[in-house]
Amino acid sequence: MFTKTTETRTTKTTVIRADDQPQEVREVKTITTTYAPIAAAAEKLEVVDRDLNLGAWVKKPLYVGEHEVSLNHGRSFASGNKKAVLIGINYVGTDHELKGCIQDVKHVQDFLISHRGYTDTPETMKFLSDEASLEELKPTRKNILAAFEWLTSNNQPGDQLFLHYSGHGAVMKQASHPNGQEDCLVPLDYKTAGCIDADAIHRALYHVLPPTVKLSVIFDCCHSGTMLELPWTYRPSEDGTLNKKEVDSKGFKREHFTSETEGETVDKPVVVISGCRDDQTSADTIIKGYGSTGALSYAVQSVLKEQGPVTYDGLLRHIREFMATNNLTQVPQLSCGMEIDPTGTFEF
């Protein structure tokens, strides 16, 4: 059975008139959102990998060691302010065009507002897509990095930040990287401006983030398993429980995870759900009755819509069950900036 929700939303935007005076514009919209059940099979009329071949090779595993954890740091972010950056790139008119990325972030935007208490104002949400009429809201390399900076700036302890990226991911040769290659996001103008590599993403999002502010990220793109280069990853074991794997110091630069003032490892409440392992691709597909979408984006929203509050362990298991049920080979990943309790509630 499909679940349909309808709401009336009023938005306020300040525009600059021809006489250089500000004017507030109000817009009232009625929005109907339909959520298909998680068990709905992907109607693969068209499945396109969100992968851009930049002439690189498969990345080697970067994690070693494995043991169970059941830690709860007890940090609460329920009362803080919320900000979000939503990026959807369909690469319209190019040889690498996708269909579902802008649709992804539109659905995510509606979900954040209707179910997670986010607001759609210039101070609290940025939406970058090919369809944007303003140049500063097109998903170029410069604008994406500017959006990252906006997201991580001027926050207070207890604030919650959210980032969703739907588009191409790639692996590029990088001689300076320990493994000779690096994962990257592919902006709209990648041919002229270049991609945004994992080191740059780490510096823009993780390195500058204070440990009192929470960041939740969804990367629905190829080669995204360690896109943010976090120190911990969690993967289900044979009995279905989540186990932790620590970062290999030979794979990542350890200074990524240390305090500049103390030289010690810093825990940060950063959680990333990525569409696949580093050596895999993520699907751009069509769900019957829902339209073009990314498999991960659809699965995450469906789980949260059907299950309500869900644990980290439960979320990852439900997403992977959805992939397996629909014959999708990608294996979504959960990585973190600190050790977590897998039975804790996923909040954003």
What's residue 24's pLDDT? 58
User: 142-183: per-residue pLDDT in tens?
Assistant: 999 999 999 999 999 999 999 999 998 887 666 565 666 677
Candidate from 31-40, 91-100, 312-321 with smallest mean pLDDT: 31-40
Nearest alpha carbon to residue 295 among 115, 3, 46, 86: 46
DSSP state of 276: S
Question: Helix, strand, coil % (nearest 5) of the chain?
Answer: 20, 30, 45
Q: Domain boundaries in the chain?
A: 45-336
What is the torsion angle, in degrees rounded to the nearest 10, for the CA atoms of residue 16, residue 19, residue 21 and residue 26? -50
Alpha carbon 47 to its chain centroid, in Å, reads 20
Contact (Cβ atoms closer than 8 angstroms) between residue 228 and residue 206: yes
Residues with catalytic annotation? 168, 222
Question: What element of type H or E holds 59?
Answer: none
DSSP alpha helices (H): ranges in the chain?
A: 101-115, 141-152, 190-193, 198-201, 295-307, 312-325
CATH of the domain spanning 45-336, picked from 3.40.50.12660, 3.50.50.60, 3.40.50.20, 3.40.50.410: 3.40.50.12660
pLDDT band at 300 (very low <50, low <70, confident <90, very high): confident
Contact (Cβ atoms closer than 8 angstroms) between residue 215 and residue 83: no
Place of tokens 């039975």: 343
Phi and psi, residue 213, nearest 5°: -120, 135
Higher pLDDT, 245 or 348: 348
Q: How far apart are CA 344 and CA 121, in angstroms?
A: 30
- C-alpha distances (whole Å) from 111 to each of 33, 114, 309 are 9, 5, 14
Q: How far apart are CA 84 and CA 112, in angstroms?
A: 9
pLDDT band at 255 (very low <50, low <70, confident <90, very high): very low
Alpha carbon 68 to its chain centroid, in Å, reads 25
Rg (CA), the chain: 19
User: 210-246: per-residue pLDDT in tens?
Assistant: 999 999 999 987 655 566 778 888 765 544 454 544 4
Higher pLDDT, 113 or 250: 113
What is the rounded average pLDDT of the residues 261-279?
66
Place of tokens 């804790």: 344
Whether the per-residue pLDDT at 3 is higher than 90: the answer is no
pTM given for the model? 0.73
